[in-house]
Amino acid sequence: MHTVRRLGTLPQPPRVTLASLIAATMLLSACEGGQAVNPADSASAAPTPVPTVQTTARPSAETLAQGLKHPWGLAILDNGEMLVTERGGQLWRLSADGQQRQPVRGVPPVWAQSQGGLLDVVADSGDQPWVYWSYAEPGTGREAGLAGTAVARGRLVGTQLQDVQVIFRQQPKVDHGNHFGSRIVLGPDNTLFIGLGDRQQDNPRSPDTRFAQNLGAHLGKVIRIQRDGSPAPGNPSWNGQAALPGIWSLGHRNIQAAALNPQTGALWVAEHGPQGGDELNIVTAGGNFGWPLHSYGCPYGSLPGKGCQVGDGQHGPGFIEPITTWVPLSMAPSGMAFYTGNRYPGWQGSLFVGALRGAALWRMTLDGDRVTGREALYEGELGRVRDVRQGPDGLLYVLTDAADDGRVIRLTPSGS
């Protein structure tokens, strides 16, 4: 049975209605050039099945590091060294070959329960780069016992984080342990995108507009801020509706994969559906992606089939359609990378997304903004794939999730 948990105080502005949200997305924003999306101009056709493609010369999987405890995020520095988070709260700095591992000091306390803990990590360029990480932050004072997604940054000097500051805090905090989202992406012009989950507050059996559809809460949103935490110019104004600062899009369930398309600069995300209905979305300013009012997935415990899809499945024309989905079973997406190198024959321009369910690395071929083919690589061989990144050497690195033996894996081209 789905129950809504205790919440911290919902910040002002107050809750908005579904009708007003749809109206807002159909008008242009006037705030600093930010523009809301008219759903009529967005993809309103339901996604169609995608044919299977097959890699003929599959790269070998080489383990660089192992023995990690529920690793979650992987960042690769300019010199090939790596940063790896463990959900329990440890950040590691690994040598480029993965053989040496040193703890990084300076990470603030995390709420390491259920799906919470130390989560994603990304890094700027440079010898002493700014590092950004997301985590479940424990509440204090009136919010004691609650937790929410937060993002902090610090300058990495050796194995010490200096000048640490929290640059984003989810509002409100809740006492549920799931759906922290937490993928973070370095955007252009010194911006930062944060993909959030609905903290499992939305109930697809009786959907409403209190959480992922509420501009007065961060739950189920994509946030866009400056890298120092200040407001980013060009965000939607939501047609003057009261909204928390930084909201870029709404109607998301649980974003755990995100990357910028190098060809277009657009933010792509993959998010968990309920029972089936995982989605790949192109996130646009002011976009509403429908959760929890529409999903190609079903409430947990439903018999698989179209008849149980939330809101009859189809998102359009009122909400933005995903560009591909996984039905009737979820693959549980986590981690994303557009491959721009030339080390793997036939893979240049492909999109890679990790899968926790089925323990695979999904490869998708693209034609502009369309997915033209996809395949599940290494299915059942590597373990639960939590993250995937391209290194400065043009190779792909995969992070697998396990309680005591998470691994960093490098994909080595055939014949190397």
What number of CA atoms fall less than 13 Å from residue 203's CA on the CB side?
7
Question: 399's torsion region: left (phi>0), alpha (psi -120 to 50) or beta?
Answer: beta
DSSP letter, residue 1: -
Residue pair 76/349 in contact by the 8 Å Cβ criterion: no
Residues of the chain with pLDDT under 70: 1-44, 416
**Where do the domains of the chain lie, and which CATH numbers do they carry?**
18-412 (2.120.10.30)
pLDDT at 272: 97
pLDDT at 46: 83
Measuring CA to CA, which residue among 201, 212, 174, 147 is closest to residue 6? 174
What's the pTM?
0.90
Structure tokens at 230: 């200040």
Structure tokens at 353: 């997304």
179 is catalytic: yes
Neighbours of 56 (CB within 10 A): 7
Alpha-carbon distance 313 to 300, whole Å?
A: 15
pLDDT at 45: 76
What SS3 state is found at 374?
A: strand
Continuous segment of H or E residues that includes residue 18? helix 18-25
Alpha-carbon distance 36 to 41, whole Å?
A: 11
| Marked catalytic residue, from 179, 218, 272, 315 | 179
Residue pair 181/285 in contact by the 8 Å Cβ criterion: no
Which residue shows structure tokens 């097959």? 54
What SS3 state is found at 409?
A: strand
